[in-house]
Amino acid sequence: MLQRILLLVGLVGTTPSPASAQAGCTDPQAENYEPTATQNDGSCTYPLTNYQAARRANLPADLEECSGLLWLDGQLWGHNDSGNPAILYQLDTLDASIRRRVVLANANYVDWEDLSANQDFVFIGDFGNNDGSRRDLRIYRFPRTDLALDTIRELDTIAFSYGDQSDFEPANLNTPYDCEAFFATADSLHLFSKDWVRQITRHYVLPNQTGVHVAQLRDSLDVRTLVTAADRAPDGTIALLGYEGLEGVLWLLFDYPAGQPFAGHKRRIELGSLLELGQAEALVFREAGVGFLASERLFGFPIGPQLFSFRSAQWTRAALNPLSSPAPELFDPQVYPNPVGGNHFRLRQIRPERALDLALYDQWGRRLWRAEQRSAEVSLAGIEWRPGQYWLRVRQGRLEKWISVGRF
């Protein structure tokens, strides 16, 4: 009897615990992916990744300094930077024309920088602080149902200061306490600073309730980017938009512990030159892995404000849902040659055992062609697609990839 008891004790003592799970890089797309790792330790490193967002349209003159976007109930909204009327603009997602205007009659407009919402309220971040001297930082709040009105006359105010700021001496474009990016959750507001000094970003959190609050510093990340916008997708992915010099940058934060977005996967996406993109200032997810970007006029250059769409699921899906997504090398179709000089091209790295569902879209999101086939040879004879940039959607069962295709 004693021997049985000792044996049971020994078995219990050797049972693996959650703490013994192997930590490492768990993203199959990373350079240092560890197939045996079961716990993400935030150590993943990634290859240089370039991406060209799909241009939708020029923004109208009324929204020349678009610095915030919001997707709410199937509608896209935007607002201007400082020095403009306190108006929210509803935009057509295809041609960026203005469909509605909502005036915020009693808003004290200092420097609006971003726009967000949760299940109850819309929030407007009036916290632009280029010289670090502001003592009137605030976020406006109103019920989301008020967007049905032409004029909103009552706004709640959430006033705040940074818990770690003690120096308020003006230092134009040389302060770590500027901010242009935030998103709202059910009970909190999450701010990401624009650090002009070190080009890091700090993550601050404060309650989303009216009153006077102190934004608490949670963490910081060396992004080498002046962060200008942020949003959180339904799958938890956080996107930070900004620029480094004259290059646009998108950071994707995913598969992180609750409340610690800098502790998970951190992937940097190069968006290309601001001379084509414009000054990247606004971002919003329409759904998980799909969203919109907006740019302001690029100061000193003849680059006007523009609206773009983007897709990010190709970088996050495998890490967030590894059981339903294969390793990326198993489904990574490529167009050859690219750019395409005629009506024929070839798909590489496809899985020939299953049919392909192919569709071609122009830069405004209009579908020009669709076909189902098994052949890797693709013919677009019979359609009119002039020189320019297009998107080819390749779908095979539950797998999908969007490929930017040039036509010359």
pLDDT (tens digit, 0 to 9) for every residue of the chain, 408 residues total?
Answer: 444 444 433 434 444 444 457 899 999 999 999 989 889 999 999 999 999 999 999 999 999 999 999 999 999 999 998 888 999 999 999 899 999 999 999 888 899 999 999 999 999 999 999 999 999 999 999 999 999 999 999 999 999 999 999 999 999 999 999 999 999 999 999 999 999 999 999 999 999 999 999 999 999 999 999 999 999 999 999 999 999 999 999 999 999 998 899 999 999 999 999 999 999 999 999 999 999 999 998 887 888 899 999 999 999 987 776 554 444 444 678 888 888 888 899 887 776 667 888 999 887 778 889 999 888 889 998 888 888 888 898 888 767 788 888 888
Per the structure, the complete domain to which residue 393 belongs is given by 328-407
In 3D space, the residue among 56, 60, 50, 64 whose CA is nearest the CA of residue 279 turns out to be 64
As a whole number of angstroms, the distance between CA 250 and CA 218 comes to 21
Same domain, 345 and 258: no
CATH number of the domain encompassing residue 118: 2.120.10
Same domain, 357 and 216: no
Examine the fold and report which residue of 320, 343, 371 is the final residue of a domain before the chain moves on. Answer: 320
Instruction: Establish if 269 belongs to a structural domain.
Output: yes
List of residues 6+ apart from 308 with CB closer than 8 A: 53, 54, 55, 56, 277, 292, 293, 294, 295
Same domain, 360 and 305: no
In 3D space, the residue among 36, 116, 26 whose CA is nearest the CA of residue 72 turns out to be 116
**pLDDT at 289 (0 to 100):** 93
CATH number of the domain encompassing residue 358: 2.60.40.1930
Same domain, 110 and 240: yes
Instruction: Establish if 124 belongs to a structural domain.
Output: yes
Same domain, 81 and 137: yes
